[in-house]
């Protein structure tokens, strides 16, 4: 009620309420099962990290680090940051605990809230929920294919029909992306007077981003720009071709998008993104890529890795169909009078202990109101306890689908409703 409470959830946050909250729970559980079947172990890392984890991991040139982080100083003067993404913290945890000394790759699955201070809009929140997996310690293209297939499968199972875009952005060598970047910067400098001002400023810091620009001026220039995929070294090219052929083997439909670049600096080689309709301009439901240099950037050993992050909020928005209407209780006890309500409380509890969902009226309503409540909960059975039933110790059991009623003694109710 807004009349007494003048507090609202902070901007860009939300309360997850019934009935949709149950759908959410169901989708998350399906994801956990799917990731678990593929051998990805659950991992949880703190909601905040030392700020440097993101500055060095995600990269200071990225938008996320540059202007979207919730950074604060604690009472000990340490600079901490609410995690804006999950990969850098997971890699930090792997290094810190030496998980890479066991069998490789280390396969981990995480889920949780991430925080970025941006202008909220549909499908974009300041506190948002991501699910992700990371396979750390394998450079094989098999891993790329496995990770992508799992994410794709999750989205499809969740009722999203995503388009999968893939690209390779090479690795950081002169023979590969570094050389390409210089060529791109040269191209952009030659055309700098034709670019939108925002994009002109990125030539030095983050030239790849100009491919994402929606400025008409920039878009037309970029049509003729050199593209990363034409400048990959032999190894990166071979890797990308393998990934593609594996995806084809797995019947995962994908599109090559040579203009796909990702926002976080740590990506190398494979980059991918899932997009879906119904989300307005926030059409990316998930994305990921290979990050072969991340571990070293965080002071760890050389450890190639790949993973994805999927935005649950956007998944729930994009999935087909409305909320599933679930049964709240299979058995509803209609009780009339104090003695019956007391008996009902015991009956409901024993049914629940037996694994059967059950409910009774807790508002001391009349019979009509209780019957309505039973229907509202989607109950299959109504157990009626009135004066007659209390006197005879036999409840009236009504099948709410067929309307049939029978008289059963209290001890037989559980067996009767199991059918």
Give residues 289-308 in contact with RNA (rule: CB under 7 A). Answer: none
- The yes or no reply on residue 21 touching RNA (CB under 7 A) is no
Q: Does the bond joining 66 to the residue before it have cis omega, within 30 degrees of 0?
A: no
Give the footprint of RNA on residues 146-185 (CB under 7 A).
none
Only one of the segments 27-35, 166-174, 242-250, 372-380 lies at the binding site for RNA (rule: CB under 7 A); that segment is: 372-380
Least CB distance to RNA at residue 18 (A): 11
Least CB distance to RNA at residue 310 (A): 6
Least CB distance to RNA at residue 334 (A): 7
Choice from 140, 189, 283, 357 touching RNA (CB under 7 A): 283
Least CB distance to RNA at residue 234 (A): 28
- The yes or no reply on residue 217 touching RNA (CB under 7 A) is no
Choice from 165, 336, 359, 417 touching RNA (CB under 7 A): 336
Least CB distance to RNA at residue 101 (A): 29
Only one of the segments 138-146, 175-183, 292-300, 309-317 lies at the binding site for RNA (rule: CB under 7 A); that segment is: 309-317
Give the footprint of RNA on residues 56-95 (CB under 7 A).
62-64, 68, 85
Only one of the segments 69-77, 181-189, 208-216, 236-244 lies at the binding site for RNA (rule: CB under 7 A); that segment is: 208-216
- The yes or no reply on residue 373 touching RNA (CB under 7 A) is yes
Q: Which is nearer to RNA, 1 or 223 (CB)?
A: 1
Tokens of 187: 């191209």
Choice from 376, 393, 415, 418 touching RNA (CB under 7 A): 376
Choice from 73, 326, 375, 409 touching RNA (CB under 7 A): 375
Choice from 3, 251, 320, 419 touching RNA (CB under 7 A): 3
- The yes or no reply on residue 192 touching RNA (CB under 7 A) is no
Least CB distance to RNA at residue 198 (A): 6
Q: Which is nearer to RNA, 69 or 136 (CB)?
A: 69
Number of residues that bind RNA (CB under 7 A): 74
Q: Which is nearer to RNA, 175 or 283 (CB)?
A: 283
- The yes or no reply on residue 389 touching RNA (CB under 7 A) is yes
Q: What is the CA radius of gyration of the chain?
A: 28
Least CB distance to RNA at residue 401 (A): 7
- The yes or no reply on residue 355 touching RNA (CB under 7 A) is no
Whether the CB-CB separation of 304 and 137 falls below 8 Å is answered with yes
Calpha distance 262→259 (Å, rounded): 10
- The yes or no reply on residue 212 touching RNA (CB under 7 A) is yes
Give the footprint of RNA on residues 119-148 (CB under 7 A).
119-125, 128, 130
- Which of 198, 217, 193, 220 has its CA nearest to residue 209? 198
Choice from 43, 195, 309, 347 touching RNA (CB under 7 A): 309
Choice from 366, 393, 409, 415 touching RNA (CB under 7 A): 366
SS (H, E, C) the chain: CCCCCCCCCCCCCCCCCCCHHHHHHHHHHHHHHHHHHCCCEECCCCCEEEHHHHHHHCCCCCHHHHHCCEEEECCCCCEEEECCCCHHHHHHHHHHHCHHHCCCCEEEEEEEEEECCCCCECCECCEEEEEEEEEECCCCHHHHHHHHHHHHHHHHHCCCCCEEEEEECCCCCCCCHHHHHHHHHHHHHHCHHHCCHHHHCHHHHCHHHHHHCCCHHHHHHHCCCCCHHHHCCHHHHHHHHHHHHHHHHCCCCCEECCCCCCCCCCCEEEEEEEECCCCCCCCEEEEEEECCCHHHHCCCCCCCEEEEEEEHHHHHHHCCCCCCCCCCCCEEEEECCHHHHHHHHHHHHHHHHCCCCEEECCCCCCHHHHHHHHHHCCCCEEEEECHHHHHHCEEEEEECCCCCEEEEEHHHHHHHHHC
């Amino acid at each position: 009620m807004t009349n007494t409470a003048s507090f609202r959830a902070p901007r860009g946050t939300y309360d997850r309420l019934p009935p949709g909250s149950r759908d959410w729970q169901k989708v998350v559980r399906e994801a956990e099962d799917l990731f678990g079947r593929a051998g990805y172990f659950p991992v949880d890392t703190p909601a905040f990290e030392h700020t440097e984890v993101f500055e060095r991991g995600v990269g200071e040139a990225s938008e996320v680090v540059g202007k979207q982080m919730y950074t604060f100083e604690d009472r000990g003067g340490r600079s901490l940051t609410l995690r804006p993404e999950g990969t850098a913290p997971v890699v930090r945890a792997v290094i810190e605990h030496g998980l890479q000394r066991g069998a490789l790759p280390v396969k981990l699955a995480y889920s949780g809230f991430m925080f970025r201070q941006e202008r909220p809009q549909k499908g974009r929140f300041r506190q948002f929920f991501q699910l992700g997996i990371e396979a750390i310690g394998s450079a094989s293209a098999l891993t790329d294919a496995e990770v992508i297939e799992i994410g794709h499968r999750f989205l499809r199972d969740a009722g999203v029909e995503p388009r999968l875009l893939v690209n390779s952005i090479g690795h950081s060598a002169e023979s590969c992306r570094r050389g390409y970047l210089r060529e791109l910067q040269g191209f952009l400098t030659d055309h700098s007077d034709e670019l939108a001002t925002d994009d002109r400023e990125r030539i030095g810091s983050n030239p790849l981003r100009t491919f994402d620009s929606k400025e008409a001026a920039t878009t037309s220039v970029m049509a003729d720009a050199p593209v990363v995929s034409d400048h990959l070294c032999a190894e990166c090219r071979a890797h990308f071709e393998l990934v593609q052929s594996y995806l084809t083997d797995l019947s995962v439909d994908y599109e090559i998008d040579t203009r796909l670049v990702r926002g976080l600096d740590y990506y190398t080689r494979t980059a991918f993104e899932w997009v879906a309709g119904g989300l307005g301009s926030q059409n990316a439901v998930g994305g990921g890529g290979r990050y072969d240099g991340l571990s070293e950037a965080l002071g760890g050993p050389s450890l190639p890795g790949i993973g994805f992050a999927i935005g649950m909020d956007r998944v729930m928005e994009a999935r087909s169909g409305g909320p599933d209407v679930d049964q709240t209780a299979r058995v509803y006890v209609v009780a009339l009078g104090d003695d019956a309500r007391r008996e009902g409380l015991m009956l409901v509890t024993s049914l629940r202990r037996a694994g059967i969902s059950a409910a009774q009226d807790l508002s001391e309503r009349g019979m009509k109101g209780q019957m309505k409540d039973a229907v509202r909960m989607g109950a299959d059975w109504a157990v009626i306890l009135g004066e007659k039933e209390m006197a005879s110790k036999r409840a009236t059991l009504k099948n709410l689908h067929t309307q049939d009623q029978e008289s059963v003694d209290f001890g037989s109710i559980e067996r009767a409703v199991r059918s």
